[in-house]
Structure 1
Amino acid sequence: MGENRKIILVERPRYRMPTHNCFKLERGPIPEPGEEEFLVRTLWLGLDPYLHGRMKRVSPQAEPVAIGDVMVGATVGRVEQSNHPAYEPGELVVGFWGWQDYAISNGSRILKLKTQLEQEHPSYALGALSRLTGLVAYISIMEISKPRAGETVVIGAATGGLGQIAGQLAKLQGTRAVGIAGSQKKCDFAVDELGYDACVCYKDDDFADQLKNACPEGVDVYVQTIGGDDLDAVMPLLNLYARMPVLGVIAMWSAADLPTGPDRTMLFLNQVMTKRLRVEGVVGNDYFQSHFGVFQREMATWIRNGDIKIVEHVVPDLEDAPMALQGMFQSADEHLGKLVVHVGD
């Protein structure tokens, strides 16, 4: 018979960081698909920073998850039963049915895994080959920044699922890639395993000085994912006509209030004007129709050729997802690469 485990959101975050006490495990029967529906078995679940926003009472990304509902999240699964003419048992699909073993779908917001690389590594559909991670990194580097050989590219959250791809793409263009990370272990990993030229820890007291020394020719591209102190340290180093794709503002998502101290908005805008900066927000959905196919083909080629290395931190079970999400925001050293949960086989 089997059962369906579901991770339910039972309360809003009490603290600046999401904690495991916000969730509850429920068990129930496996649902039955109706007419033109299919049953999907979850194999992999992706954990991403935006999930914190979806847990709050007001979400900047989309409608917040309602108390008592299954926690949202990008998922990869296998069709187990089907009453839908377009889906056959055994097919692998990617969607957004959330933190549970099984779900019923009518095909809305569902894509089949089509590339050979996705078939071999289904979890890549949540990271390297996804619209949420890989496509955003690709657009930021290849379409918006377009770095030239010899330029300096700085990547925030350099060892995360998105940062690891952006940094390696920058290196493929012949640039000097400098990472920003939350520990010395992550910085060492960025240089030794991902090929960054340098990486600095934003928690160090002399972080700004270290970053300046790592960028002796200034900064031509800053892939913005965090904000806060990182942005303050990068701004004086930006060269004329520097590009700043904005992929996220993690420091703001975890903040209870506006930053303390003087309002620096005018200082930032003055930098934008005098240095002729290009600052552009990047959301993967905007480029899905126009770029997703080309991106997947090129990314798969780079991965197969060894030009881009994909690192995943695999959480072994669905019931570990709440603690893993909490750990991601605590910048735990063990979270290197894309954070994924292995839910089933």
Structure 2
Amino acid sequence: MAAINKIGVFTSGGDAPGMNACIRAVVRSGIYLGKEVVGIRQGYQGMINKNFWDMDARSVSNIIHLGGTILKTARCMEFLTPEGREKAYKNLRSHGIDSLIAIGGDGTATGAEIFSEKYDIPVICIPGTIDNDLYGTDFTLGFDTANNTVIEAIDKIRDTAASHDRLFFIEVMGRDSGCIALRSGIAGGAEAILLPERDTAIDELIKKLETGAKNKKSSSIVIVAEGDKNGGAYDVAKRVKEKFDFYDAKVTILGHLQRGGSPSSFDRVLACRFGYAAVKALINGDTRKIVGIRGNSIALTDLHEALNLHEFKLEEDLMELSTILSI
């Protein structure tokens, strides 16, 4: 592999808290280690549009605390075509960019793998997604912050639920992963948690709520992951209300509120570790790897393995706790 001289960094897919802190770490780590760093605005679309930003250490001042991404993100249908990828590659080469660091979820990583294999350009991926659903890392960038945002919302909703003897159905993000729902539900003291990974019959949920009412619970909160097989929170609430009217039932959809906000301390430190590790990996000759954290150590996983195994499973003890602690 040829020596790395100019690193392109970009964010793609859904934004996640901590992306800016990660960009900062990549830029300053690269410069510290004697490399040039170019920001690519709007992800893969930016490669096609030549939307490049030659960055220095001051380009990333005062961004560590910001949510979103200063490099922006965008969908790019053109990059899905061989012609679009060829155009992107030619633009990168004309600007002298000889390696890439991609920050995003599985869609971002998939695009990076295909691109790198075709044009043999070194690429390292950083898992930036609030869903925490990528193989090869215990935590993805942004998950902790999103989880804390949901917990804060649950706490506030519980105040009004208890004041009015209400049943609240709170829908959180997680089309394929129940990580946010499970952890925020336990931390927020939810009476029930509906997950994509576990089938919960409506009759079973009603029985649980009836038990709570008989035990003189003044209110109840049900956390519903958007990918739960019963449908979203509105569908679940409608079906429950048809058979159970002990509480006045309300629905709250947290939606994109979970993506925004200043990253937590955990996510800021994780972003710094991920960014530095990605730069080091490129300089050391690694390519088509994803940076992760296992235990408290940085680990690199082959991109192909990370994308094809995709076996991130919810912790069994947390699944059990979600039932035990809700009685």
Fold match, TM over 0.5? no
Bigger radius of gyration? 2
More helix by share: 2
More strand by share: 1
TM-score, normalisation: structure 2: 0.36
Point out which structure has higher relative CO (alpha carbons under 8 A, 6+ apart).
2
TM-score, normalisation: structure 1: 0.35
